Homo-oligomer: A and B are copies of this chain.
Amino acid sequence: MEKLVSSRRIYDGRVINLRVDQVELPDGSLHQREIVEHPGAVAILPILDDGRILLIRQYRHAVGETLLEIPAGTLAEGEEPIECARRELLEETGYTAESICELFKCYLAPGYSSERIHIYRASKLRMTGSRRDADEYIELEPVTIHDAESMIRKRQIQDAKTIAGLTFYLWTRGSG
């Protein structure tokens, strides 16, 4: 365990905040911890009726690349993760899901970020046509299970939540 000695706020932003804590370890030594505060997020593995997985392709300014990912987004204040999953799926893809269930949740970068992401599987999808996302330019890319496997093996998918969600799904699918 680490005992908090002092905390300095550096930045309060639109999505993330930054603070620097000083902590004391059991041996009495003092260490600095740079902490990104994040409200939490959801990601959705959308399974189309024909078994294909609906991926999205979008430019990511933070890494300077266009990435292939599962749909995802940040929790709004007071929003339940499952409601956020339905909202982000609709906004980013135009689909609603009759069936949605949590696969797992995890911390993305627990060395410095408080962000926890809930990962859902969504199925029985229906296209509403009302896709909308003012802040993002997103291309839909449905891929077969076979293609998804191959894209992971060929390192064409480079996003951690997408690799974790897809490999978890591929690996548990056989065992119900």
Contacts and interface: CB of A to CB of B under 8 A. Distances in A.
Interface in A120-168: 134-135, 137, 152-153, 155, 157-161, 163-164, 167-168
Tell me the number of copies of this protein. 2
Nearest to A20: B13
Nearest to A169: B167
Interface string A24-62: 011001011111101001000000000000000001111
A172 interface: yes
B1 A13 contact: no
Interface string A53-78: 00000011111010101001010000
A116 B33 contact: no
Interface in A85-143: 104-117, 134-135, 137
Interface of A: 1-2, 10-11, 13-16, 18, 20-21, 23, 25-26, 29, 31-36, 38, 41, 59-63, 65, 67, 69, 72, 74, 104-117, 134-135, 137, 152-153, 155, 157-161, 163-164, 167-168, 170-172
The 7 closest A-B pairs by CB, nearest first: A167-B167, A164-B164, A60-B110, A171-B171, A106-B160, A163-B164, A108-B160
